[in-house]
Amino acid sequence: MITHPKYIFVTGGVSSSLGKGIIAASLAKLLQAQGYRTTIQKLDPYINIDPGTLNPYEHGECYVTDDGAETDLDLGHYERFLNVPTSQANNVTTGRIYQSVIDKERRGEFLGKTVQVIPHITDEIKHRIQLLGNSGDYDIILTEIGGTVGDIESLPYIEAVRQLQWDLGENNALVIHLTLVPYLSAAGELKTKPTQHSVKTLMESGVQADILVCRTEHELSDSIKTKLARFCNVKKEAVIQSIDASTIYDVPNLMLEEGLDKVVLKQLDLESNQPDLGRWNEFLNRHKNPKGEVTIGLIGKYVELQDSYKSILEAFIHAGAENEVKVKVESIHSEYLFKDNVQEKLSHLDGVLVAPGFGERGIEGKIDAVKYVRENNIPFLGICLGMQMAVIEYSRNILGLDNANSTEMDESTPHPVIALMESQKDVVNKGGTMRLGSWDCNVETDTLAYKSYGRTEIKERHRHRFEFNNDYKAQIEASGLKATGYNPETGLVEIVEIPSHNWFVGVQYHPEYKSTVANPHPLFVAFVAAALKYKNNK
């Protein structure tokens, strides 16, 4: 343990989507594996208060923390790599910064002063950056700054970093700049100029990069590293190559080989040890050497975009490794799924997951899919909207409740088997008002959920407004779809199952958010195991 927390800032240059989140998470893993208590924070320069109101097409999945923050999907990577829960303090947006400064101004806290970007906005940014450090829970805080240097909206963040470096003093903070070294095939060469320009742009704001992490498709030669060091004012050992990897889970080892952790610890005047990556490498080994394969259909309406279901895809990687199989996920667009093609699209699958979502688009395809897997005994996991679709399908096709629906899709349905939660009825604002974060759930024994978790008391994360309508519970249960998990205080149904089916589980919560490399989610592990069993018995 160290007395004063140390700060690492990660900025990006040249291009977006270089994987700052993965580099930050990988470095944090290496530091954590040497005994440093490490956390990662993401600063997002957009004006939304949080990504909760963003369409997945804009910004990928919205990740939810235990304390109910709707956050950037990079926080999911931080948790999956570090196995330490994040919170509201780990994701800050420009919207949130401005909102709190404006609220303070309304309360008269600036004592008649003119409120300005510098110092008021930058002070608020500095305050948010240091919240995690001041908690006393961490030795090292990595702060990833969203966007690319040179963006107008990133400027206050870069200025806050510049000031903090002075405030914190030597050896207490450093800046890692992630850039791209492109390969021009016509010239047959790697090009350093974009990196030089990007470092220069950062310097125009008074920030000197201490370490360069260079994304590249080809090995950086010694002479390229020398050139980058010379033109960008960094030591040669601080030019780190980050070559394309076959899996994001390889990146910690790649960074270890490059010595990123050593350079960082040296510059922060901290001791460097051999990181203990034993469990991590065991996982990698199982992930890379599967003994079999299962194919799972992922049915959703954002399937063309990998990032929309990020946590689900990663949870399958963890659960696959645990079962020593490769999980091949086949994305199926629910909008193009109909009664007459459902067999053709689903019959070869070993398991089907119906994804979370909002709104009417694509829901009939999800319902047709549930009917098909229910009737054909194919293992099924429904998450949030997926669970709600399972209840609707059962009500329509087994109970004969014609046009049963969720009031989200049809306000005047004759059978609102899924309905708006009581606590949501007076809610007007859309942002941050769903049932969010971690809630208790009691699991009934002798159920698939109990077999998976091995316990009766669990906590899972939620993000929804609608719920299983308990007015229909007796009727639905009598016909064979059982409620097997409840919230102990409200009686809200959190899990449903069909005991007569091979493996059929719907959950109102999002198990995918809690799956990590160190702790693969038990429900995903059990679902993959059921798919494997189903495949072997085919």
356 binds ligand GLN (CB under 6 A): yes
Q: Judged by CB under 6 A, how many residues of this single chain contact ligand GLN? A: 10
**Cα(68)–Cα(63) distance, integer angstroms:** 10
**Cα(42)–Cα(51) distance, integer angstroms:** 12
Smallest distance from the beta carbon of 464 to ligand GLN, in angstroms?
3
Is the CB of 287 or the CB of 465 nearer to ligand GLN? 465
Is the CB of 239 or the CB of 354 nearer to ligand GLN? 354
Scanning 10-18, 100-108, 308-316, 462-470 for contacts with ligand GLN by CB under 6 A, the matching segment is: 462-470
> Among all chains, which residue has been given the structure tokens 């040179």?
150
**Cα(81)–Cα(69) distance, integer angstroms:** 19
**Cα(473)–Cα(278) distance, integer angstroms:** 47
Scanning 227-235, 250-258, 459-467, 512-520 for contacts with ligand GLN by CB under 6 A, the matching segment is: 459-467
Exactly one of 97, 384, 419, 492 binds ligand GLN (CB under 6 A); that residue is 384
Binding pattern for the stretch 144-163 against ligand GLN, x by CB under 6 A and - elsewhere: --------------------
Scanning 117-125, 146-154, 288-296, 354-362 for contacts with ligand GLN by CB under 6 A, the matching segment is: 354-362
211 binds ligand GLN (CB under 6 A): no
DSSP letter, residue 281: H
> Among all chains, which residue has been given the structure tokens 């009031």?
407
Smallest distance from the beta carbon of 385 to ligand GLN, in angstroms?
4
Residue 30: CB atoms within 10 A of its CB come to 25
| CA distances (Å), origin 303, targets 52, 95, 119, 458, 506 | 19, 29, 44, 30, 20
- Order of strands, edge to edge, in the sheet holding 38-44? 91-93, 38-44, 140-145, 6-12, 173-180, 211-216, 239-243
Is the CB of 231 or the CB of 358 nearer to ligand GLN? 358
Amino acid of residue 466: F
Is the CB of 22 or the CB of 392 nearer to ligand GLN? 392
Amino acid of residue 245: A
Smallest distance from the beta carbon of 26 to ligand GLN, in angstroms?
29
Is the CB of 221 or the CB of 433 nearer to ligand GLN? 433
Q: Which residues are catalytic?
A: 384, 510, 512
463 binds ligand GLN (CB under 6 A): yes
Return the exposure string of 297-329: e unless at least 16 CB atoms fall within 10 Å of the residue's CB, then b: bbbbbbbeeeebbbbbbbbbbbbbbbbebbbeb
Is the CB of 46 or the CB of 358 nearer to ligand GLN? 358
298 binds ligand GLN (CB under 6 A): no
Q: How many residues does the chain have?
A: 538
DSSP letter, residue 403: T
466 binds ligand GLN (CB under 6 A): yes
Scanning 38-46, 213-221, 352-360, 394-402 for contacts with ligand GLN by CB under 6 A, the matching segment is: 352-360
C-beta of residue 492 within 8 angstroms of C-beta of residue 486? yes
Smallest distance from the beta carbon of 165 to ligand GLN, in angstroms?
40
| Residues with Cβ within 8 Å of residue 371, at least 6 apart in sequence | 342, 393, 397
Give the helix/strand (H/E) hosting 172: none
Scanning 320-328, 340-348, 350-358, 494-502 for contacts with ligand GLN by CB under 6 A, the matching segment is: 350-358
Is the CB of 81 or the CB of 302 nearer to ligand GLN? 302
465 binds ligand GLN (CB under 6 A): yes
363 binds ligand GLN (CB under 6 A): no
Do the strands 435-443 and 482-486 form a parallel or antiparallel pair, or are they unpaired? antiparallel
385 binds ligand GLN (CB under 6 A): yes
Is the CB of 171 or the CB of 433 nearer to ligand GLN? 433
Smallest distance from the beta carbon of 468 to ligand GLN, in angstroms?
10
- Alpha helices per DSSP H over 107-187: 122-134, 155-168
Smallest distance from the beta carbon of 391 to ligand GLN, in angstroms?
11
How buried is 457 (Cβ within 10 angstroms: 0-12 exposed, 13-18 middle, 19+ buried)?
A: exposed
Q: Which of residues 398-457 bind ligand GLN (CB under 6 A)?
A: 408
Smallest distance from the beta carbon of 146 to ligand GLN, in angstroms?
24
Q: Which residues sit at the interface with ligand GLN, rule CB under 6 A?
A: 356-358, 384-385, 408, 463-466
